Structure 1
């Protein structure tokens, strides 16, 4: 356990730029932009019959910010896996860790665990901090727009808990769904290092084109089996219009209802196969490190 924590701490120290410093800069810029817009009379909102309350606007703002942080995390994790699986081959750090009683599989599994748990937890904490800034902005905005009442602290906490539960569930399921893609680029990183980023897209694309050239007109799906499968695997989320309907309704967002609907749309067979494939990629990468990089 201590070894695993030490390895995860190393991952944090080596990649804190993307998962600590950059989000902190984003958070500071967000706070400054909100403060600037509120205290320089740049907020102008037409209030009319049927306009959303500040409470609903706060809830929608939470969802939008959560989506932006989710997109940042997904992109940052791609670059993390493209770098981390080969990062210790630079310099002499790999020689140090290979001198320790730690297998290559455990090292790579810890890297994957950091990407699945540690770094998402850090970004989720930044999302919560953004929610605090958003509530302060809404409260100050109510002072500038006295016709709108700010949400009560209890209502704001309820909305935060509801949207936070929704974001946490969506984040966890999406990480499981996209696990084979991250493991794929990580495995390529072990062999090709940073060239793994373009190769992660180039190799499936070339294989898909070759399939179309060889099997065109054989009655398969449009675009071929491989590219059609990849398109379906990249699709994750709520049914079309479901989230928009929840956002623009008069009632608060229901995290249990939305998560239940999301769970029903997931192909759990594909989810399980994807996790097995991700594990296979990690094992293959560890075997390459053990058999090739030891020479």
Structure 2
């Protein structure tokens, strides 16, 4: 197990620029621009503070949700390119012979890359995302204090919102990683065989499979098949919107516990299990190809 954890740690070291340093730089830049905007009177501090007190709970919840969604989009984008590039990284500089000499199987090496994509890499973005949102919350509360409308009760509400939304952020991120696990494994497996060509091939492969079904079994067009319908379903993470609809309509306040409970109950766990089995299968096939392929 020590060797496996060392392999996972290696992935973080090799890709810490995209998963840790770049997000930190983004946070520093956005925070500096925010402070500069207030310092040079580009934003009216008093007006902003008064606005935050009109519907303070909704503003902070919506702000957290917006920033969290942006970080999730960044995570998905970077993970896609990591799986296409990171699984092929061992071939660089003719280093495959060195890795084949290690007392670790090819399957375990590929599994460590997938484990890093599910744990340590998104974990770093989650941590940086929480720091960025905390800074934005701090700026928002300071503006309310400058406007003379800050209070201990408001601060307590903001702290409660932060921890509730952080839990929602974590649950949605974990479920998203599990839902898109087969896509990450497929792109990674293809990357171990064809390198960075896995990116266009990963986009082309579903179309080819759907077209084959259309040619053999018929249909209106290549994008009107059961294969394409299933891929569309697996490409959109199921999110329960019942509670969110009532919140947007102003019927009830947002409740993180109710949202998470409803979200987990209606999540398609059967498809998650099928996706996990598919991910292990394609990784095993890729490891067998890697084991038999020339070292250089």
Instruction: Give me the TM-score of the superposition, normalised by structure 1.
Output: 0.89
The answer to whether the 8 A contact 1:183-1:278 is kept is: yes
| Residue pairs, 1:108-257, within 5 angstroms | 108-146=110-148, 152-217=154-219, 223-240=224-241, 242-243=243-244, 245-246=246-247, 249=250, 252-257=253-258
Instruction: Give me the TM-score of the superposition, normalised by structure 2.
Output: 0.89
Separation in 1 of the partners of 2:53 and 2:196? Answer: 50
My pick for the range that moved more, 234-243 or 49-58, is 49-58
Distance apart, 1:248 and its partner CA: 6.7
Separation in 2 of the partners of 1:43 and 1:229? Answer: 47
Separation in 1 of the partners of 2:277 and 2:113? Answer: 17
My pick for the range that moved more, 1-10 or 242-251, is 242-251
The answer to whether the 8 A contact 1:79-1:197 is kept is: yes
Separation in 2 of the partners of 1:137 and 1:293? Answer: 56
Give unpaired runs (5+ residues) of structure 2: none
The answer to whether the 8 A contact 1:82-1:194 is kept is: yes
Q: Deviations over 1:52-91 (max 9, x none)?
A: 4334322221111111111110111111111111101111
Corresponding residue of 2:18? 18
SS at match of 2:92: coil
Distance apart, 1:48 and its partner CA: 8.9
When the two chains are superposed, the root-mean-square deviation of aligned CA atoms in Å is 2.7
My pick for the range that moved more, 284-293 or 235-244, is 235-244
My pick for the range that moved more, 149-158 or 20-29, is 149-158
Task: Tell me the matched-pair count.
Answer: 294
Q: Report the CA distance shift for 1:132/1:117 in structure 2 as closer, same or farther (over 3 A).
A: same
Separation in 1 of the partners of 2:80 and 2:164? Answer: 28
Corresponding residue of 1:72? 74
Q: Report the CA distance shift for 1:202/1:142 in structure 2 as closer, same or farther (over 3 A).
A: same
The answer to whether the 8 A contact 1:166-1:255 is kept is: yes
Give unpaired runs (5+ residues) of structure 1: none
Distance apart, 1:291 and its partner CA: 1.4
Q: Report the CA distance shift for 1:153/1:250 in structure 2 as closer, same or farther (over 3 A).
A: farther
Distance apart, 1:223 and its partner CA: 0.8
Q: Deviations over 1:243-293 (max 9, x none)?
A: 354367486532221112222332222221111001111111111111123
